[in-house]
């Protein structure tokens, strides 16, 4: 299972490393990318070396798009949005965490599809593309090969849910036990949504 993770300046730490921890239990093929490659950092002083997105020629099995404050700037980065669109189209599964769905929505690929995002930034995410069928109350949403999760920690529940969809709940549950994680299996249960 090839997992390709998009990074950009000011990505949210756990949006990336929650899913990476879980994918790391099933594959050694995890790679980090950014628009032009090189060192990418965030406000938590996490700094990683990345490959350029152009290296993904034929798509990937899982394309993971995190959120974070950096998305506010990146939705206006036409070159990045075009690359995300191109790679998402070629990839088998596309997963976004938190405000990562704003980047995905900006490509137009979610138009008419169901998707969710971070609760605190929900209005902003909706404003990025109102043609998406935004679902506010959901831990994560699946529509075709697109998985979109709520804020930060929800990315872990979604990643386990994604692996459950592929390999069964028992398979995903065993990973949750291995990392001593209280997996919330119900994608429709959302304790952090205070309005519908």
Interaction site with a copy of itself (CB under 8 A): 12-14, 16-18, 20-21, 23-24, 28, 30-32, 43-49, 118-120, 150-154, 177-182, 184, 191-192
Closest approach, Cβ 23 to a copy of itself, in A, equals: 8
Interatomic CA distance for residues 177 and 159, integer angstroms:
14
3-state secondary structure (DSSP) of residue 10: coil
Closest approach, Cβ 131 to a copy of itself, in A, equals: 25
**Under a CB-based contact definition with an 8 Å cutoff, are residues 118 and 67 in contact?**
yes
Comparing CB distances to a copy of itself, the nearer of 69 and 126 is 69
Interatomic CA distance for residues 108 and 88, integer angstroms:
11
Comparing CB distances to a copy of itself, the nearer of 13 and 86 is 13
Closest approach, Cβ 139 to a copy of itself, in A, equals: 8
- Cα angle value 176/185/158 (rounded, 5°): 80
Comparing CB distances to a copy of itself, the nearer of 4 and 74 is 4
Residue labelled with tokens 């929650």: 18
Interatomic CA distance for residues 104 and 196, integer angstroms:
22
Closest approach, Cβ 49 to a copy of itself, in A, equals: 6
Closest approach, Cβ 112 to a copy of itself, in A, equals: 26
Q: What are the residues whose beta carbons fall under 8 Å from the beta carbon of 114, sequence distance 6 or more? A: 132, 133, 135, 141, 143
Comparing CB distances to a copy of itself, the nearer of 109 and 151 is 151
Comparing CB distances to a copy of itself, the nearer of 24 and 37 is 24
């Amino acid at each position: 299972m090839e997992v390709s993770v998009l990074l950009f300046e000011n990505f949210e730490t756990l949006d990336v490393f929650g899913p990476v921890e879980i994918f790391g239990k099933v594959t050694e093929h995890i790679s980090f990318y950014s628009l032009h490659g090189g060192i990418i950092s965030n406000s938590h002083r996490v700094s990683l070396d990345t490959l350029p997105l152009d290296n993904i020629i034929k798509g990937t099995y899982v394309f993971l798009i995190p959120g974070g404050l950096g998305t506010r700037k990146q939705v206006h980065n036409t070159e990045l949005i075009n690359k995300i669109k191109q790679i998402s189209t070629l990839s088998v599964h596309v997963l976004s965490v938190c405000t990562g769905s704003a980047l995905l929505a900006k490509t137009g690929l979610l138009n008419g599809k169901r998707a969710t995002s971070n609760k605190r930034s929900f209005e902003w995410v909706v404003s990025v593309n109102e043609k998406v069928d935004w679902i506010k109350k959901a831990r994560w949403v699946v529509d075709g090969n697109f998985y979109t999760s709520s804020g930060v920690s929800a990315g872990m529940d979604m990643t386990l849910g994604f692996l459950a969809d592929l390999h069964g709940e028992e398979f995903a549950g065993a990973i949750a036990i291995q990392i001593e994680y209280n997996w919330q299996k119900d994608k429709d249960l959302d304790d952090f949504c205070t309005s519908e």
